[in-house]
Structure 1
Amino acid sequence: MTRALNKLSASFVRTAPIGKYSDGGGLWLHQRNDGGAQWFLRITVHGRRREMGLGPLSSVTLKQARTEAEKWRAIARQGKDPIKEREKERRQQERNLHLLADVARDCFESRKAELRGEGKAGRWFSPLELHVLPKLGKVPVAEIDQIDIRNALAPIWHTKAATAKKAIERLSVCIQHGAALGLDVDMQAVAKARALLGAQRHRVEHTAFLPWQDVPAFYASLQPDTVTNLALKLLILTIGTRSRPLRHIHLDQIDSDVWIVPADQMKGRRDSGDDFRVPLSRQALDVIDRVKPYARDGFLFPNVRKGVISDATMSRLMERRGMDARPHGFRSSFRTWCSEAADAPWEISEVCLAHSTGGKVERSYKRTDFLEQRRDLMQRWADFVDGTS
């Protein structure tokens, strides 16, 4: 027999004396001695009677209490425990309240191990910090959609295309991180935002480089033997490395006439863990000998105060001379020389620049780094650069 429902009236509820009063269907009002009043639901689940609070009378009306009671009775009819189900809902709501700023920082912390220098330079996080978090950082990540992302990045989508691309890629990683945390995020939000933003109009500008014919004159002009001049000379002579490994070169990395660059300092080699061997020409060994008196704590190119010279030190020298070319451009100078003047094999030239050659399967079988062949080519390059040949 169905139990009677809706026994109470709103007027009675407002003036109910101390005691417990049934509205039917397990819904009760408890008027306490201290003047407060509380709604609760008595319900039987798996043979056990449970009491579930539905809130104080001061904030939950009779109508609202009846609605809540019916909701949880329906859950009980499905064989579920309403109290446990409500706790699940509460936890879900708390998870969905995680702000993007918190998720982004947690994501950054979890990725530090795979970033160069554990991300201390801030390059991975800075596009988010500068262009996304100021606008979306305080928004729960579960509420972020493609419109939010489009509006945040539209101002820089064409004017700062490279930065915008990094920002949206890293935002995508953060949203995936949110999903891994159990948050109810929109995994397609970034893809839909890209569609709204459209193709970028920005044209990629490659680093300006010095024609290979002009490199010997520039090399000869690097006088006297200052730390910056010697760093630029060694960069030109050991063209396979980039600025970071050269600036951090340490005496312990020099093994006879080979410089062994740790994998974590080489672009594209951090995941594989393979160190990169650089054959040192006679001229490169001479530069190393000349810079040794400047060494501090084993580092050949120390800064005036602490650490090593900055990434901008060599670029500023070329800029002060009124040159458009930059240090990274010497890689292009070398590669063009290999093709136009040295008639060097393509594969050897690419390995000199620390580029991967062949497909993934091919590389898994081909384990050589062509050290001897590169030694010959790098010596020919050094002889050309210093005017020996």
Structure 2
Amino acid sequence: MTRPIYKLSALAVKAAGPGKYNDGAGLWLHKRQDGGGQWFLRITVHGRRREMGLGSIADVSLKEAREHAEQWRAFARKGFDPIKEREKQRREAERNLHCLADVALDAFESRKAELKGDGKAGRWFSPLELHVLPKLGKVPVSDIDQIDIRDALRPIWHSKGETARKAINRLSIVLRHAAALGLDVDLQATEKAKALLGKSRHTPQHIAAMPWIDVPEFYRTLEVPTTTNLALRMLILTAVRSGSLRFMRYNQIEDDVWTIPAHQMKGRLGQTADFRVPLSDEALRIVELTRPFDRDGFLFPGLRKGVISDMTMGQHMRKAGLPYRPHGFRSSFRDWIAERTNAPREVAEISLGHVAGSQVERAYRRTDYLEQRRQIMGMWAGYVTGEEEAIDENF
């Protein structure tokens, strides 16, 4: 093969002004106004002229540019498109560079907007961080198969069933994220791993809930207006989650409605709207009782800073010798609705902040049943305080 006759020299490359310069055999230099420049190769493949960048003159010398050009001309002579071939090589290289830990973090970052508080609590990522990444984090994501996943999760599959379920679901999301990045992964690996692991023997433990019939007696024990007692009373009266309650602010209350910002609701996909909670007369009385404790606009401030902790109310109940948890009052409230009212299911579920009905039903429903829920909350407050209101015939 005839050796190309080159036209440029290293000195000429350095001294050249702005413009395009042909070195020969399709290798060109494009010099810019700022003194920088790029190498590129003009080549014909399958009757089409292609231009292929070979790097900047700051990183690639004239000698290296000629070597790269000859390498890609050889591919073209064999009938391969050098640009597509380089892209193929790049993807193959990335396959070995993208370890699971990096892809998992990237997937987490991309989902933060869907998670409560941008996922700062760590609950989305922690199952992976604790049970998958220590064993598979450094493995290229394209190499991970069902055997790897099975071996990583087998120690907790039967003993920590819920955690294992979350871990394998999160891992499935990470693999889909890797596929979206263009990496070659087995999207069925997690389902295959489940088949290998078998059905979990773990029996989920439901949160212990106080029977609704016992709630009034417990409510009476909270008469002393401490921050913890007032928080528990408001938790019972509103049936919200403790996370929303702890961050309750005075400026979120207008008349008898407390509006919980969407980001303070439970982090679930599709939770984009604020949630209105009707406050009974008893709940409004509790609001006034919290005024002496006001700090930074919070109804239930912590002892030194911030707000009351998530454990404070639970500790109070344990010290009282009760086997129940604060979150269980939501179940107490739901059971009371079922036993003592005729409220429609969708009204009862929305009272708890749950998504009710199918996606189509929710698309056409434009109400949050505030008026019906206002009556239910008034009836519930009357029940827990021992001053039960008359039950409307509609409920």
Q: Which residue of 1 aligns with 2:127?
A: 127
Separation (CA, whole Å) in 1 of partners of 2:289 and 2:372? 27
- C-alpha contact (below 8 Å) 1:135/1:152 kept by paired residues: yes
Residues 1:97 and 2:116 aligned together: no
> Match of 2:219, as an amino acid?
Y
CA distance in 1, matches of 2:304, 2:212: 35
The answer to whether the 8 Å contact 2:115/2:267 transfers is: no
TM-aligned CA deviation for residue 380 of structure 1: 1.1
Match of 2:158 in 1: 158
1:298 aligns with 2:297: yes
What value does the CA root-mean-square deviation take over the aligned residues? 2.4
1:269, distance to aligned residue in structure 2 (A): 6.6
Bigger Rg, which one: 1
Distance 1:177 1:226 in 2: 48
Quick one: which amino acid aligns to residue 222 of structure 1?
Answer: L
Aligned partners of 2:347, 2:368: CA distance in 1, in Å? 9
| Structure 2 residue runs without a partner (length 5+) | 2-42, 50-70, 389-395
Deviates more, 1:227-236 or 1:293-302: 293-302
In the alignment, what sits opposite 1:39? none
Match of 1:80 in 2: 80
| Residue of structure 1 in register with 2:245 after alignment | 246
The superposition leaves residues 262-316 of structure 1 with CA deviations (integer Å, 9 ceiling, x where unpaired) of 1222237762522211111111001111112212111111122322122222112
Give 3-state SS (helix, strand or coil) of 2:80's partner.
coil
One-letter identity of the residue aligned with 2:270:
D
Hey, what's the Cα distance between the residues in 1 that align with 2:274 and 2:307? 21
Pair 1:274 & 2:266 matched: no
Q: How does 1:179-328 map to 2 (within 5 A)?
A: 179-239=179-239, 241-267=240-266, 271-328=270-327
Identify if the C-alpha distance between structure 1 residues 286 and 96 changes in structure 2 by more than 3 Å, giving closer, same or farther: same
User: How many residue pairs end up in the alignment?
Assistant: 324
Tell me, in whole angstroms, the C-alpha distance in 2 between the residues paired with 1:138 and 1:384.
57
**Could you tell me how far apart the structure 2 residues matched to 1:269 and 1:179 are?**
23
TM-score (norm 2): 0.76
- Give the residue type in structure 1 aligned to 2:372: Q
For structure 1, which runs of at least 5 residues remain unmatched after alignment? Answer: 4-43, 49-70
- TM-aligned CA deviation for residue 184 of structure 1: 1.5
The ranges of structure 1 where at least 4 consecutive aligned residues each deviate by more than 6 angstroms after the TM superposition are: 71-74
Q: For structure 1, which segment, 269-278 or 215-224, has the greater mean C-alpha deviation from structure 2 after superposition? A: 269-278
Residue 112 of structure 2 is matched in structure 1 by 112
For 1:200 and 1:376, the matched residues in 2 are separated by: 43
Cα offsets for 1:116-158 (capped at 9, x unmatched)? 0001111111111100010001111111111000000000001
Partner of 2:381: 382
State which drifts further: 95-104 or 374-383: 95-104
| 2:190 partner letter | V
2:245 partner letter: L
Instruction: Tell me the secondary structure at the aligned position of residue 202 of structure 2.
Output: coil
Q: Deviations over 1:178-208 (max 9, x none)?
A: 1122211111111111111111111122111
Partner AA of 2:274 in structure 1: D
State how far apart, in whole Å, the 1-side matches of 2:214 and 2:168 are: 40
- 2:290 is paired with a residue whose SS is helix
Between the two proteins, what is the percent identity of the paired residues?
62
Calculate the TM-score normalised by the size of structure 1.
Answer: 0.77
